[in-house]
Amino acid sequence: MPVGDILLRRFKFSAALFLLSVTTACAAGINPSLENARDAYLKARRDPVIARHAGVALDRAAVTLEEADRRWKKDKDVEEVEHLAYITEKRVEIAKLVAQRRLAVDELQKAGSQP
């Protein structure tokens, strides 16, 4: 059997397993994308630097996560929930970057005020 055929079969098998796991998780009432977004948000919320320096940005992520939760509980709309989960994760990333930037500005100001 040619190597290309073997690789294609392996890819198809892997894709089938992935779809089966996502379908099983969704049937069990769990959306993996939503859970990943929730984990990212909670991790960021526990970070004191992010909470202190990027609270507003983190609050925007929370609002999007809440909307994704509502949509999942009400409609089980996989496409919309995955979209909202993606946006939540991006907003968490933005909050991290905002916190890093503000922390850097604070440190520069402290360094500039020292004799």
Question: CB–CB of 84/71 below 8 Å?
Answer: yes
Provide the pLDDT for residue 26.
Answer: 47
Distance, in Å, from the CA atom of 58 to the CA atom of 33, rounded to the nearest integer, reads: 18
Q: Give the Å distances, CA to CA, from 29 to 17, 64, 66, 75.
A: 18, 19, 16, 11
pLDDT digit string, tens, across residues 34-67? 999 999 999 999 999 999 999 999 999 999 999 9
Provide the pLDDT for residue 20.
Answer: 47
Give the residue carrying structure tokens 């690789």.
7
pLDDT band with cut points at 50, 70 and 90 for residue 111 = confident
